[in-house]
Amino acid sequence: MNKNKIRSIKTAAKGYAFIGINLIGVLIFWTIPLIFSFIISISKWDYSKGIKGIKLTGLSNYIEMWKDEWFRASLINNIIFTISFVLILVVLSFVVAYVLNEYVVGKKLVQLGLYLPYIVNIVAISAVWLALFSNNGPVIGLLKKVGIENPPVFIADLHWALPTIVLICVWQNLGYTVILFLSGMVNIPKDLYEAAAIDGANVLQKIRYVTIPMLSGTTFFIVITSIINSFKVFGLINLMTHGGPGTSTTMLVYNIYRTAFQYGKLEFASAQGIVLLIIIFIITWIQFRIQKKNEAAG
């Protein structure tokens, strides 16, 4: 065996060693729990007997799951939340990023201020917003001062609780998506804008025909990650509303937690978790297909 071959084997071994560490983590903390969760989702489990108490029952848990009012409500709420959250976040962050890129001096400081909520602890965020929307808080006080006699109580209101959670999540994630859009805008060649100006394009036309197409990859990444994150929202619900009032803010992940750890129904919780995984996979697959078609057409 020559020296070059030995050297290549050693290099490959080092690479596999580094990859192996991550693979072990994925295996222990993702693959094995996922497989076990699927097994539990098609079983009835007598916990007192340990692993021996698992008896396969087929799809009965999945059938019963759709009869559960809380699961149906959490699925509907999550769909409404996802659509509202992603649309508002993408549009608003694009507008803010464009204004910062074109018209604001000292935008680094503004970016820092926008980004801070994204890295602040979720407990602190929940405490601040609970104080803002409390009965004696500044938001309701301001609404009363401007002439609204019976303002909504927001978090405690059946109709306003979910929009309020959407608002808070958009505020929390805005800085991160603004930075992503800004990084894409900075890399757009100025020649394209100059050519558009020569052709007589105004500001809106430059945005429509230059900025938006050039940011398609960035927008695609933001939309995918935002949709996935919207189906994983848990902290705000758990700390601020506990799924209420009623079922108005119950989301899939919170309902999985509630079903598993408050009611001890691990089989139903596992079935809901598998359904959530399938939903996210289908949405991501559809978006990748759309992105590939757009790239081929472009």
Reported as a single tens digit per residue, the pLDDT across 55-82 is 888 888 899 888 889 999 999 999 999 9
pLDDT recorded at residue 2: 65
Distance CA(68)–CA(213), nearest Å, equals 44
Distance CA(14)–CA(23), nearest Å, equals 14
pLDDT recorded at residue 164: 94
Name the token pair of 204.
């809106």
Reported as a single tens digit per residue, the pLDDT across 238-259 is 999 999 888 999 999 999 999 9
- Identify the structural domains of the chain with CATH numbers, from first to last: 3-56 (no CATH), 66-297 (1.10.3720.10)
Of residues 20 and 296, the one with the higher pLDDT is 20
pTM over 0.85: yes
Cβ partners under 8 Å of residue 68, min gap 6: 268
Name the token pair of 135.
């009965």
Mean pLDDT of 71-99: 95
Distance CA(143)–CA(136), nearest Å, equals 11
Judged against a pLDDT cut of 90, whether residue 30 lies above it is answered with no
Distance CA(53)–CA(48), nearest Å, equals 7
Judged against a pLDDT cut of 60, whether residue 205 lies above it is answered with yes
Residue pair 294/212 in contact (Cβ under 8 Å)? The answer is: no
Q: Which residues pair with 55 in a beta bridge?
A: 44
